[in-house]
């Protein structure tokens, strides 16, 4: 059978231990969700506190994405040179410092610097958390475990939005409390990461066999440890200095093309326009402020529900079927949304299609993109290659959220959805032609599938 995996057959795994270390690592995703969402509740207060012009409002919001790009580049270097765990520790500490820094910023310049710093933490966690989980998870549950990271992102967004809503009437300086509360999950993440084992794959790649074998034996059994060690060593290239030249080497290019394209597609599919500009979309059809707020909360709950569904499906149905269904489904739903928005349809009807779009994304491109990026790169450059893909994702996000207001101004709120529909159709074709199934295969087997020789 294509997906048969001899390493995982007839082996008893320590499921509790695997889930525990996966959840601890995935707390980076919660903080990712926190920093992504907290700005939406705080922005009205920040406009008053710092007398923001529209340009500075956009730059302040986007500074997180710029920090994410820097964080991904930093994380890739740390992950390959010093290990996955030191990178996670650095990300957790960065989250804590930036949360307090934003809360106590006296001026706009200091706040933007701290927002950029928060982005560094988000960028590091967005790359390292799924990477670490993929490397400590057996092949038969790797997709579900990596999707835990997406679940914690969704929880971070939902809980942060609810807290922002509850704090909203506590005065003009409440934004400081909104940001300052981020230090609590940051310190919990830091405390948990300190007790994580290093990735056994990184240890084997760096001559720490005894430590790696102890971690592998705790994950599975003695036989699992020996078999996994042998397979990793077999896939190990002669020790070479890891550089971007190695990432873009001819033999690695098939995996790099898939990783970068999926990362960019996850953003250019347009769903973060729905997340970030919910009020703009519903205001265009006459919805009042209460309706707009209700849509934000409804989107959060649907996002959570269907992320949970994705965690059940990703290792059963596979990555390709979910991505194919999500991309073609979004292409169709966006056409319907464009038609309804152009015709000024009732907000309730538009809400139905917005929530369908969120559901499709949450069960497909949202979690599966992170899963595939964490799987397809060779052991010896996985950290640096992952950082290249995730940098592409954050750059695409930056472009998406800053072009929508301009496009909507010239084309109407409905216009951009025709473009996003076309992009989703092209993404469907790319997945169908270029992306191979990764379900049930070890990272070393996938290296043979995605990397040219």
User: How would DSSP label each residue in 68-123?
Assistant: HHHHHHHHHHHHHHT-HHHHHHHHHHHHHHHHHHHHT--SHHHHHHHHHHHHHHHH
Assess contact for 163 and 30: CB atoms under 8 A.
no
Alpha carbon distance 77, 72 (integer Å): 9
Boundary-marking domain end, from 196, 221, 250: 196
Residue 79 shares a structural domain with residue 188:
yes
Q: Which two tokens stand for residue 289?
A: 């402020």
Q: Quick one: pLDDT at residue 234?
A: 65
Residue 225 lies in a domain: no
- Tell me the pLDDT tens digit for each residue of 130-155: 888 888 887 777 777 777 887 898 89
pLDDT of residue 208: 81
Residue 1 pLDDT level (bands cut at 50, 70, 90): very low
pLDDT > 90? residue 311: no
**The pLDDT of residue 89:** 93
For the cut 80, the answer to whether the pLDDT of residue 185 exceeds it is yes
Average pLDDT score, the chain: 82
CATH number at residue 75: 1.20.1250.20
Residue partners of 445: CB distance under 8 A and separation at least 6: 5, 139
Report how many domains make up the chain.
2
Query: What is the average per-residue pLDDT within 25-53?
Result: 83
Interhelix angle 84-103/183-193, nearest 10 degrees: 160
Indicate the pLDDT class of residue 425, thresholds 50, 70 and 90: very high
Q: Please say if the pLDDT value at position 36 is more than 50.
A: yes
Whether residue 213 lies inside any domain: the answer is no
Which of 141, 170, 196 is the last residue in one of the domains?
Answer: 196
Give pLDDT tens digits for 158-174: 898 888 878 877 878 88
- CB neighbour class for 2 (10 Å; exposed up to 12, middle 13-18, buried from 19): exposed
Residue 298 predicted with pLDDT over 90: no
Highest mean pLDDT among 2-6, 51-55, 349-353: 349-353
pLDDT at 54: 64
pLDDT band at 453 (very low <50, low <70, confident <90, very high): very low
| Of 133, 382, 373, the residue nearest 267 (C-alpha) | 373
* 144 and 287 co-located in one domain: no
Contact 125, 376 (CB under 8 A): no
Q: Of 133, 114, 134, 103, give the one whose Cα is nearest residue 193.
A: 133
Residues 65 and 146 both lie in one domain: yes
For residues 358 and 265, membership in a common domain is answered with yes
| CA–CA distance, 450 with 93 (Å, rounded to integer) | 35
In a domain, 205, yes or no: no
Query: Is position 162 within any domain?
Result: yes
Q: 103-139: per-residue pLDDT in tens?
A: 999 999 999 999 999 999 988 988 888 888 888 887 7
Decide if 158 contacts 303 (C-beta within 8 A): yes
Residue 46 lies in a domain: yes
Distance (Å, whole) CA 451 – CA 253: 7
Residues 250 and 192 in one domain: no
Burial zone of 51 (CB within 10 Å; 0-12 exposed, 13-18 middle, 19+ buried): exposed
> Which position has the token pair 């690695």?
252
Q: Give Cα 205 to chain centroid, integer Å.
A: 26
Strand, coil or helix: what is 349? helix
Same domain, residue pair 358 and 442: yes
Helices H, strands E: what count in the chain? 21, 0
How far is residue 420's CA from residue 267's CA, in Å, rounded to a whole number? 10
pLDDT at residue 59 in the model: 76
184 and 250 within one domain: no
Rounded to 10 deg, the angle between the 347-362 and 365-375 helix axes is 20
List the one residue out of 57, 75, 183, 184 whose CA is nearest residue 131. Answer: 75
Pairwise CA distance, residues 40 & 7, whole Å? 46
Q: What confidence tier does 92 reach under pLDDT thresholds 50, 70, 90?
A: very high
- Structural domain harbouring 118: 1-196
Per-residue burial over 295-307, b if 16 or more Cβ lie within 10 Å, else e, is: bbeebbebbbebb
CA-to-CA dists, residue 242 to 131, 376, 385, angstroms: 17, 17, 10
Q: Which residue has the higher pLDDT, 87 or 440?
A: 87
Is 180 a domain residue?
A: yes
What pLDDT score does 222 carry? 66
The pLDDT tens digits of the residues spanning 359-395 come to 999 999 888 887 888 777 876 777 778 878 888 988 9
User: What b/e readout covers 125-141, taking b as 16+ CB neighbours within 10 angstroms?
Assistant: bbbbbbbbbbbbbbbbb
* 305 pLDDT higher than 50: yes
Q: Which of 148, 134, 388, 366 is nearest to 259 (CA)?
A: 388
Q: What is the pTM of this model?
A: 0.76
Same-domain status, 445 and 363? yes
Look at residue 238 in the predicted model and tell me its pLDDT: 47
Residue 204 located in a structural domain? no
The Cα–Cα gap between 282 and 295 comes to: 9
Alpha carbon distance 141, 449 (integer Å): 19
Instruction: Based on the fold, state whether residues 75 and 152 are members of the same structural domain.
Output: yes
Q: Report if residue 277 sits inside a domain.
A: yes
- Give CA–CA dist 367/322, Å, rounded: 10
């Amino acid at each position: 059978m294509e997906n048969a995996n001899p390493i995982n057959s007839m082996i008893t795994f320590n499921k509790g231990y695997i889930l525990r270390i996966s959840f601890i690592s995935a707390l980076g995703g919660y903080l990712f969700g926190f920093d992504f969402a907290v700005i939406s509740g705080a922005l009205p207060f920040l406009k008053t506190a710092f007398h923001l012009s529209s340009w500075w409002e956009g730059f302040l919001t986007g500074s997180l994405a710029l920090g994410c790009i820097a964080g991904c580049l930093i994380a890739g270097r740390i992950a390959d040179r010093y290990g996955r765990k030191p990178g996670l520790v650095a990300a957790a500490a960065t989250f804590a410092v930036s949360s307090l820094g934003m809360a106590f910023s006296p001026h706009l310049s200091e706040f933007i610097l701290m927002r950029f710093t928060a982005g560094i933490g988000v960028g590091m966690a967005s790359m390292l958390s799924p990477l670490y989980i993929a490397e400590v998870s057996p092949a038969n549950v790797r997709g579900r475990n990596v999707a835990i990271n997406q679940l914690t992102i969704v929880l971070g967004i939902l809980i942060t939005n609810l807290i922002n809503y509850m704090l909203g009437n506590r005065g003009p300086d409440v934004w400081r409390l909104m940001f300052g509360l981020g230090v609590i999950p940051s310190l919990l993440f830091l405390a948990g990461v300190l007790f994580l084992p290093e990735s056994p794959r990184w240890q084997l790649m760096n001559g720490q066999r005894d430590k790696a074998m102890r971690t592998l034996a705790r994950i599975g059994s003695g036989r699992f440890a020996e078999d996994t060690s042998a397979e990793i060593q077999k896939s190990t290239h002669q020790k070479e200095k890891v550089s971007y030249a190695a990432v873009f080497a001819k033999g690695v290019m098939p995996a790099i093309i898939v990783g970068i394209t999926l990362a960019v597609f996850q953003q250019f599919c347009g769903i973060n326009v729905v997340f970030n500009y919910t009020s703009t979309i519903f205001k265009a059809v006459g919805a009042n402020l209460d309706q707009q707020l209700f849509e934000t909360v409804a989107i959060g709950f649907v996002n959570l529900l269907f992320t949970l569904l994705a965690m059940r499906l990703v290792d059963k149905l596979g990555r390709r079927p979910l991505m194919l269904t999500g991309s073609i489904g979004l292409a169709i739903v966006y056409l319907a949304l464009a038609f309804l928005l152009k015709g000024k349809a009732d907000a309730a009807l538009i809400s139905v299609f917005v929530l369908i779009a969120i559901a499709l994304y949450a069960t497909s491109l949202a979690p599966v993109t992170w899963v595939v990026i964490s799987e397809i790169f060779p052991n010896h450059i996985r950290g640096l290659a992952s950082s290249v893909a995730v940098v592409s994702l954050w750059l695409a996000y930056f472009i998406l959220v800053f072009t929508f207001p301009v496009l909507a101004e010239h084309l109407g709120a409905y216009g951009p959805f025709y473009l996003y529909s076309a992009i989703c159709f092209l993404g469907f074709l790319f997945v169908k032609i270029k992306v191979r199934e990764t379900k049930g295969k070890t990272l070393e087997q996938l290296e043979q599938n995605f990397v040219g020789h």
